[in-house]
Amino acid sequence: MNQKELDDILAMPLEERRALQRKIIEEMNDEQGEELDAKNKTKAGIAADDHSLKKREIPRMPLFVSDMQNYVLSQNKEYKVYFDDRINPGKSTLCVANINNKVIFQNTIDVYCHVCSISETGKYAAFQTANGYGEFSNQYATMLLYDVFSGKELLNKSLKTGWKDICSIEILETSKIIRLHYALDYVDYNFEGTPIDPQQVENYIFKYADTYSLEAYAYELLNMCEENISLELYEKLTYILDELKGCISPNRQSKLCKSIGKIYENMSNNNVEGALEKAISFYEKGLNIDPSLSVKKALKQLKNRFGKEQDLLQSAEQIG
């Protein structure tokens, strides 16, 4: 935009400027949606010109523009929800107001907000942050859900499918479901942040989720495996490591390799067949990514064990 175009916009009456702002926001949303759709199709192995997949209609909460902020209006048109990250640097003020702009709920959090929504009657408000908050400050972006009229926080949790590609959020008030709409699919969670359909969530993560969600999911799988990595889990973890290559820092990639290797090391101590070789493999992979990874001592011990086991096998074969 050149200076003349900018001067022309500034000379417009306020209502015309607002209308232009709304138009620009809509055009940006459409362009971003098309770009994201193409990116996700490529990741899923779908040709860009494959018309067998009909473009999904994404329900979007009605976005309104005022002098101070953009806001979402409840279906009964009595309440509006918005967040403001200009008041305090690095923080977001979350607000719900009635139609007369009287604030009935307000909370300031120490991170930036990404998107917000409000239920049909205004009873519940949801805010998706763009990084960790509260209990999850050292993890990934969190979904916050509030009972607007009591001010009670109902949910503060990092949801498995991530935040980056969320197009809109629906709060289904009667069934108490949070529905996250992404470009190619939607995912339902209950008010406790638990997926309604765990298999749907897993399918989404492996097809479309951002790398941060994939990394978090890998650690969740490790925590759930009870020190025993099955073949199916091994294939999932190796897939995730391949997807994360070049997308997260070498330090984080190597630490994930170390975590996987540690479980295999423990399995080898219980004489699980093949576990010793896999422990060595994952420790070596982690060191190749980040030479400062603290596994050198453990790797040396494992290699010594492996060498001794091979010697014993050879001796047994010669005797036999």
Give the 3-state DSSP-derived string for 255-299, with helices as H, strands as E and coil as C: HHHHHHHHHHHHHHHCCCCCHHHHHHHHHHHHHHHCCCCCCHHHH
Q: What span, in angstroms and rounded, lies between the C-alpha atoms of 202 and 207?
A: 9
Q: What's the CATH number where 91 sits?
A: 2.130.10.10
Domain that holds residue 170: 56-197
Asked whether residue 268 is domain-assigned, the answer is yes
Q: Are residues 215 and 310 in the same domain?
A: yes
Residue 51 forms part of a structural domain: no
Q: Could you tell me if 68 and 163 lie in one domain?
A: yes
Instruction: State whether 226 and 173 are in the same domain.
Output: no
Q: Answer with the one of 151, 174, 197 that is the final residue of a domain.
A: 197
Domain identity same for 61 and 191? yes
Domain final residue pick, 164, 197, 230:
197
- Residue 257, domain member (yes or no): yes
* Bridge partners (DSSP) listed for residue 97: 80, 103
Q: What is the pLDDT of residue 27?
A: 57
Q: Please list the ranges in the chain whose pLDDT falls under 50.
A: 1, 28-29, 32-33, 36, 40-41, 43-56, 63-68, 135-138
In a domain, 44, yes or no: no
Number of domains in the chain: 2
Going by C-beta distance under 8 Å and a sequence separation of 6 or more, which residues neighbour residue 233? 221, 225
Laid out side by side, the sheet with 153-157 consists of: 113-118, 124-129, 143-147, 153-157
Residue 304's contacts (CB-CB under 8 Å, 6 or more residues apart) are none
**CATH number of the CATH domain containing 224:** 1.25.40
The last residue of a domain, from among 197, 228, 258 = 197
Residue 69 lies inside a defined structural domain of this protein = yes
Structure tokens at 29: 């949303």
What is the C-alpha radius of gyration for the chain, rounded to an integer number of angstroms? 25
